[in-house]
Amino acid sequence: MINPAHLDLFRAVLRHGGMTRAAAALGVGQPHISRAIAHLEAELGFPLFVRGHGSAVPTREGEAFAQEVERTYAGLEHLGHAARQIRERGSGSLRVACQPSLASRLLPRAIRNLSAECPGARVSVHVPSPDTIWSWAASGQCDIGLARPRSGYTGVEAERFLTVGAVCAMPRRHPLAGRRAVSAQDLAGEPLISGGAGAFQTAIEEAFARSGVEPRFAHMAQYTAARCGLVAEGLGLAIVDPVPARELSGLPIALRPFRPDLPIETMLLQPAGKPPSRLAERLVRLLEAERDALS
């Protein structure tokens, strides 16, 4: 077995051009280096230097061995660099599953900041259904998930990430745009744009029922952007998530708080039983910073 310390001294002799100069540079005695080289030659079975010269003149075998040693050390330096990157940045890639409301601005901004902090970090973004996001987090198919609350999933560490109150989207010139808030009673008889089947749409319908109002849904659109687009065309009013709705600044719509209050929750999901990578921890911190900037 070759002694790594002997290889270090072999390289030092080559680098400094002689055993005496190498000993002076390293602060050790010249006999120590001579013995180390002799041991290395005995292990290898061939001479490394031409004897009788004051400078270090490698033999042909010594030159060939030196090339192999440098290749090995180059590989070790690469491993050291890779280890530093993993230590500082994590494993280098992340898979994030995100609901549509946060996928167009909040998440991209956090990823932009992550890329600035960790050049070379790779993030793949997926926008599936909430149940799929929970399923991926439970099975470890994503590192981070942002989704509406669900029950019945195990193997997921879930914490509340964001809670906002629903707003009513209406054309800017609509009479209700002058109100500070809009109630279910205010929307009696108004054409409405419903959302797709799900917990949020059910909560909207329950809010109207508690207020004794029968909603008149004229059209349906699954996502906030589509509902706001229909509102802008004068096809009805809609109860929507304010986060994506506020991003639609180019549309001629007004947003007013809806009463009774309808909280919209987003959960941050991570696989349970597996510590997050450093990269995942950094992205979570940046996501939280973007969330805090919303208020």
Name all domains of the chain by residue range, CATH numbers in brackets. Answer: 4-88 (1.10.10.10), 90-162+265-294 (3.40.190.10), 167-261 (3.40.190.10)
Return the closest-CA partner of residue 268 out of 291, 252, 241, 235: 291
pTM for this prediction:
0.68
Q: What is the per-residue pLDDT across 183-240, written as a single tens digit (0 to 9) for each?
A: 999 999 999 999 988 889 999 999 999 999 999 999 999 999 999 999 999 999 999 9
**What gap in Å lies between CA 181 and CA 256, rounded to an integer?**
5
Report residue 127 CA to chain centroid gap: 14
Among 80-89, 102-111, 192-201, which is the least confidently predicted range? 80-89
Specify which of 14-18, 63-67, 176-180 reaches the highest per-range mean pLDDT. Answer: 176-180
**What gap in Å lies between CA 45 and CA 65, rounded to an integer?**
12
pLDDT given at position 109: 96
Angle ∠(223,234,220) on CA atoms, nearest 5: 35
Contact 295, 162 (CB under 8 A): no
- One-character DSSP codes across 83-100: HHHHHHH-SSEEEEEE-H
Sheet order of strands, 167-171 included: 182-183, 253-259, 167-171, 238-240
**What gap in Å lies between CA 51 and CA 33, rounded to an integer?**
14
Specify which of 10-19, 26-35, 92-101, 106-115 reaches the highest per-range mean pLDDT. Answer: 106-115
Banded pLDDT at 81 (limits 50, 70, 90) = low
Q: Is the dihedral of CA 127, 131, 137, 141 positive or negative?
A: negative
pLDDT given at position 74: 85
β-pair partners for 164? 264
